[in-house]
Structure 1
Amino acid sequence: MATTGCSKWAIAVHGGAGVDPNLPLERQGGGNAPPPCLAAGIAALQSGEPAVDAVELVVREMESDPFFNAGRGSVLTRNGTVEMEASIMDGNGRLCGAVSGVSTVKNPISLARLVMERSPHSYLAFQGAEEFARQQGVEIMDESYFITEANVSMLKLAKQANSILYDYKVPDTFGVSAVLMNGLPIAIYAPETVGCTAVDKYGRCAAATSTGGLMNKINGRIGDSPLIGSGTYACRDCAVSCTGEGEAIIRATLARDVAALMEYKGMGLKEAVDCAIKEKLDKGFAGLIAVSAKGEVAYGFNTSGMFRACADEDGFMEVAIWE
């Protein structure tokens, strides 16, 4: 049933949890200037577009930026191939769509939405997802489009270290020669999963998440990003998108947990986010962004930082990485 009445729009974007303290200055962000992806989402919400349209638009923008591990900048599997995954959820009716294992779809988030709206299913993967993409006429690219020189170099380093490069990067120290918990030098860090949550002026919430996964992952590995309730969730109360250690997020059903804390315990958005991050992750590392149907924005992370940006109808805006 469609939501009636008026609320206040709000939007939040993330570009990965866990940040190299030695990140080049031009990538450190901060300040009050909205990045292009956030500006696009703000414009959509200001013009009255549904939240689900706004989150798809924002994530498409980020999938086109090779800096992020989604779409164009997807990391590589152990075999040097691309296996992208994405999910989207419209809290207005709790509709959802997800894809995994796609290697030629320019914008996996848009394919996930087509799964939601034009298929009898909620989740398609690998060959089935690729066939559906061609049936729907989405833009297809040669796999080489997604394989960047930077990620080829990172895969080589990961293989040399016999390690998987996780979304989160938590150094033992903040020195230049610091070593990551997974054994890789901090200098080869790159931001990872992208996501967006939004609520429109009618109080409708939506969330979208997209990723290439883990560098040097085993072929066929599926993370939290395409799993509804783990990496992505939206309902009438809130919308959530997660980033970080996928296996920990899956175990915690982190995105749904935020909504459940609000629904069953009566927590406010910020309280629910803090509880989920601090008490539900066990030893895992992750971050998340969230909005509520009331137009609130919240985020939380237990990593060294999280790329994030948010704005609301009242004029609040933040672009930040660190706590």
Structure 2
Amino acid sequence: MGGWAIAVHGGAGVDPNLPEERQERAKQLLTRCLDIGISALRASSPAIDVVELVVRELESDPLFNSGHGSALTENGTVEMEASIMDGFGRRCGAVSGITTVKNPISLARLVMDKSPHSYLAFSGAEEFARKQEVELVDNDYFITEDNVGTLKLAKESSKILFEYRVPTVALIDSCTSQAETPPLTMNGLPISVYAPETVGCVAVDSQGQCAAATSTGGLMNKMVGRIGDSPIIGAGTYACDVCGVSCTGEGEAIIRGTLARDVAALMEYKGLSLQESVDYVIKNRLDQGKAGMIAVSSNGEVACGFNTVGMFRGFAAENGSMEVGIWE
């Protein structure tokens, strides 16, 4: 075993015109989350506890698209989803359609630990949350003023918005004018600027056990009831005895490509390294979709890959290495 390691992401598809102030704020948040995870791993916390702890921190900050600060549905409400997976025994838990649970990732953990199931959704997940006595809040808690304004832009353009956090002039133009260049598409339908900001964390502890966790509010102006890749085991999240993976990006493409599971499969069946597996999946499994991922191996390796302009990400390992970045 190569010691513990951790990686965290705040989404792929970064706006190339992202203001410097927001870049610095994102780096500070990623650094804070890494420090939380590093402290837990140094204290010999299991990887599954670490990824939940870090994602809870990300859900509590409105900067990225999870928990407080989640994207809004076409009805102006928030429907969140999350999943978590323990590589030891491939135990997992996932939730969708969450509207009142303050930290969806912890509800996913409870589905894994306290229910006979792997996935609960909508009213059933909310009822399970009440029975488990988790912290509940009004749906308004998750809604920010910025997101309300950007939903208005999305409705005016009749589009799903991927860049919903910083509505720059370029974004507004893309929503209100006919572009001469072919638009980006999802499942054959036009979308706007691509910059989802799902959050995730992967970790391997000192015992070589891997875990992964992913949480999101989904797409701005999404249809009520839409489920993306984040709660789907093997698509947005996967962990086993060789690695842990968390994805971000175009959920429909990630689902079709079973991205997270494919990384593990390449390592298990083809003997590829962690980075080789990530690179192959990003290059060959997205079918023109846009996405990114972070991963750790049971040997203490860390890897990432993305085919977008950038990805909010950070890494640290027991050997002392640490990096926080946005661009390639």
Q: TM-score, normalised by structure 2?
A: 0.90
2:266 maps to 1:266 = no
How far did 1:165 drift?
A: 1.6
Q: Quick one: distance in 2 between partners of 1:121 and 1:34?
A: 32
> Which residue pairs with 1:57 in the alignment?
53
Q: Quick one: distance in 1 between partners of 2:20 and 2:37?
A: 25
Calculate the aligned-residue CA RMSD, in Å. Answer: 2.3
Residues 45, 51 of structure 1: 8 Å contact kept: yes
Matches within 5 A, 1:74-153: 74-153=70-149
Q: Quick one: distance in 1 between partners of 2:43 and 2:195?
A: 34
Rate the CA distance shift 1:168–1:318 in 2: closer, same or farther, 3 A: farther
Q: Secondary structure at the match of 1:72?
A: coil
Residues 166, 244 of structure 1: 8 Å contact kept: no
Q: Secondary structure at the match of 2:219?
A: coil
Structure 1: tracts of 5 or more residues without a match: 1-5, 170-174
Residues 168, 303 of structure 1: 8 Å contact kept: no
2:67 maps to 1:71 = yes
> Which residue pairs with 2:301 in the alignment?
296
Higher relative helix content: 2
AA partner of residue 8 (structure 1) = G
Alignment partner of 2:12 out of 12, 17, 21: 17
Matches within 5 A, 1:17-56: 17-29=12-24, 35-56=31-52
Structure 2: tracts of 5 or more residues without a match: 175-182
> Which residue pairs with 1:275 in the alignment?
280
Identical columns (%): 69
Q: Secondary structure at the match of 2:94?
A: strand
* Higher alpha-carbon deviation: 25-34 or 240-249: 25-34
Q: Quick one: distance in 2 between partners of 1:319 and 1:80?
A: 33
Q: Quick one: distance in 1 between partners of 2:97 and 2:326?
A: 29
Q: Quick one: distance in 1 between partners of 2:156 and 2:53?
A: 37
How far did 1:293 drift?
A: 0.2
> Which residue pairs with 1:199 in the alignment?
204
Q: Secondary structure at the match of 1:62?
A: helix
> Which residue pairs with 1:245 in the alignment?
250
AA partner of residue 13 (structure 1) = V
Deviations 1:282-319 (A, max 9, x none): 11100000000000000000001000000000011110
How far did 1:34 drift?
A: 6.0
> Which residue pairs with 1:209 in the alignment?
214
2:314 maps to 1:309 = yes
Q: Quick one: distance in 1 between partners of 2:272 and 2:173?
A: 39
Residues 7, 203 of structure 2: 8 Å contact kept: yes
Aligned residues: 312
AA partner of residue 97 (structure 1) = G
Rate the CA distance shift 1:232–1:61 in 2: closer, same or farther, 3 A: same
Rate the CA distance shift 1:32–1:73 in 2: closer, same or farther, 3 A: closer
Q: Secondary structure at the match of 2:147?
A: helix
Deviations 1:210-230 (A, max 9, x none): 000000001000000000000
How far did 1:25 drift?
A: 0.9
* Higher alpha-carbon deviation: 30-39 or 143-152: 30-39
AA partner of residue 127 (structure 1) = S
Deviations 1:16-48 (A, max 9, x none): 101112212122249899621111011100110
